[in-house]
Amino acid sequence: MSIFIEIVGWAGAILVLIAYVGVSTGRLSGGSATFQWLNAVGAAFFILNTWWHGAFPSMVLNIIWAVVGFTTLWRIFRRRMSPS
The string of pLDDT tens digits covering residues 10-53 is 999 999 999 999 999 999 999 999 999 999 999 999 999 999 99
What average pLDDT score do residues 63-70 get?
A: 96
DSSP structure string for 29-60: -TTSHHHHHHHHHHHHHHHHHHHHHT-HHHHH
What pLDDT score does 1 carry? 87
Q: Is the pLDDT of residue 84 over 70?
A: no
What average pLDDT score do residues 50-72 get?
A: 96
